[in-house]
Structure 1
Amino acid sequence: MSNSYFQSDLLSEFDRLHQQVASLFGGFPYSVRSDRYGAFPQLNVGSTDDTVEIVAFVPGVQADQLNVSIDKGVLTISGERAPAFGKDEGDESRRYRQERFTGAFRRIIELPAAADPDKVSARYVNGCLTISVGKAEASKPRAITVQ
């Protein structure tokens, strides 16, 4: 009996299965606590006592090509990343492999109920778009004096 069935990389098979399952649910808005495998731009999301912090990694995108909007508790980041080389720049070279995403993109993040849409700021530095969404005063932790 051959052991060839077990010689394949089992972890890569689990990764492939994860990608297939994730692609089934890829078209719907999702909350801050979930992620879609392989989406661009990649995100880090966290919070402090005062803000929800979102960092989108968008290398190769100019700041004027990014759009950030918030509506009804949903934050949308969209834009477009131009090709690094190819027909758009007059280069007729053949690509043997392309791993870098190019084209239009959009990420939708459902914000927690504590987020205040009137307290949003965004800054873009070195390929990282950092968005800070303030929290409503009522949701912030506060000390209660015991009498």
Structure 2
Amino acid sequence: MYRSLFPRDVLAEMDRLQRDLQQALDPSPTIRGFARHGYPALNVGGTPKTIEIYAFAPGLDPATLEVNLERGLLTIAGERKSPLPDKSDKSDKATVHINERFEGRFRRVVTLPDDADPDQVSAKLHDGVLHITIQRRISAQPRRIQIQ
């Protein structure tokens, strides 16, 4: 009886193909971010005093990242290089069987609310997480009004 070195379940393969096709055609968010143009994955939230943005970009050099804020748009851009051997290099005998890691240039744009203060922005990269904090304008922050 013939036995494959790589046994496959036909139903599991069909399920994988269906998921791949849905991900390619459906721009809705998934656990990995958006199906297209979803790198780096973002979490955006805030407090009454700040807007907090987390970009998950493990393995990136801070020198390759660029964060800009202009006219209410926050842009995170950069480039992620592959640690794998270059395909054009024929002298190396290494073979890549699976490469699921994103490589290349990326750009994410976030529209900020009107109360974001462009003069009060900080960005820190730690353990592959870029944390951007934008202060809200003092005039827009909630405050208690004394009743006389």
Normalised TM-score (structure 1) = 0.75
Q: How many angstroms does 1:85 deviate by? A: 1.1
Give 2:63's aligned residue. 64
Are 1:69 and 1:75, in contact at CA under 8 Å, matched by a contact in 2?
yes
1:109, CA displacement in angstroms?
0.6
Q: Which residue of 1 aligns with 2:41?
A: 42
Inter-CA distance 15–47: structure 2 relative to 1 (3 Å threshold): farther
Quick one: structure 1 residues 142 and 62, their matched pair in 2 at CA, closer, same or farther if it must change by over 3 Å?
same
Per the alignment, residue 130 of structure 1 pairs with 131
**Closer, same or farther in 2 for the Cα pair 1:103/1:48, shift >3 Å?**
same
Distance in structure 2 (CA, Å) of the matches to 1:128 and 1:46:
15
The answer to whether the Cα contact below 8 Å between 1:86 and 1:92 also exists between their aligned partners in 2 is: no
| Corresponding residue of 1:108 | 109
* Correspondence for 1:53: 52
Cα distance in 2, alignment partners of residues 15 and 51 from structure 1: 38
Consecutive aligned runs of 4 or more in structure 1 exceeding 6 Å deviation: none
Superposition deviation, residue 36 in structure 1: 3.2
Equivalent-residue separation in structure 1 for 2:143 and 2:20 (angstroms): 43
Determine what percentage of the aligned residue pairs are the same residue: 39
Residue 77 of structure 1: aligned partner: 76
Match of 2:141?
A: 140
Do residues 121 (structure 1) and 100 (structure 2) align? no
TM-score, normalised to structure 2, is 0.75
Give the distance between the partners of 1:19 and 1:112, measured in 2 at CA: 30
Cα offset, 1:14, TM superposition: 7.8
Aligned residue pairs, count = 127
Matched residue SS, 1:138: helix
Per the alignment, do residues 110 and 83 of structure 1 end up closer, same or farther by CA in structure 2, a change over 3 Å counting?
same
How far apart in 2 are the matches of 1:140 and 1:15?
Answer: 44
Aligned-CA RMSD value:
2.6
The one-letter code matched in structure 2 to 1:130 is H
| Structure 2 stretches lacking a partner, 5+ long | 1-13
Which has a greater percent of helix?
1
Counterpart CA distance in 1 for 2:19 and 2:108 is 25
Equivalent pair of 1:59/1:127 in contact (CA under 8 Å) = yes
Q: Which amino acid aligns with 1:118?
A: D
1:35-79 CA distances to partner (integer Å, 9 max, x unpaired)? 733510001111011110101111111011100000000000011
